[in-house]
Amino acid sequence: MKKITLLGSIILALSAVSLSVSATPVKPIQFAKGAIGTTVAGSFKGYDDIQYSLNAKAGQTLSYKLTSNHDLAQINIYAPGDKPGKAEALVIGSTTETSGKFKLPKSGNYLIQIYQMRNTARNNRTVNYKLHVEVVR
């Protein structure tokens, strides 16, 4: 009986730990009616990241410009269905730039990830950012 109670306690403890670890919520980017772009802003700290979803069609051009305090923010843009840690990003801001434009390869929800590099994240720096995006034919 003690073994069953101990096993049950271990399972319950592991369940509580797994529930406390959650994925970053993805915020949808919506354009005002008739607009081709918008700006979103916010802040995050340390190893946190911010994720946005942007729906667009194949062949459209996505323009983006990310600005932040002390240029701390970086950007990755993933194709529809791709996720950080599971696939390579279409745009890797830490190796390219935090602004640019490119033709979208397929239709769907593009994931835009905003984060800071490890050297500043480990210092638990707060990043204030603005992201401007436009989608044109």
- Show pLDDT as tens, one digit a residue, over the chain (137 residues): 555 544 444 444 434 333 334 478 999 999 999 999 999 999 999 999 999 999 999 999 999 999 999 999 999 999 999 999 999 999 998 898 899 999 999 999 999 999 999 999 999 999 999 999 999 98
Q: State residue 50's pLDDT score.
A: 98
pLDDT tens-digit profile of 83-94?
A: 999 999 999 988
Closest CA to 49 of 137, 111, 96, 106: 111
* CB proximity list for 33: less than 8 A, separation 6 or greater: none
Q: State residue 7's pLDDT score.
A: 44
Q: State residue 3's pLDDT score.
A: 52
**Structural fold of domain 24-136:** Jelly Rolls (2.60.120)
Element housing 14 (H / E): helix 2-20
Q: What is the pTM of this model?
A: 0.82
Secondary structure (3-state) at 51: strand
Other CB atoms within 10 Å distance of the CB of residue 104: 20
* CB proximity list for 98: less than 8 A, separation 6 or greater: 65, 66, 67, 71, 73, 74, 75
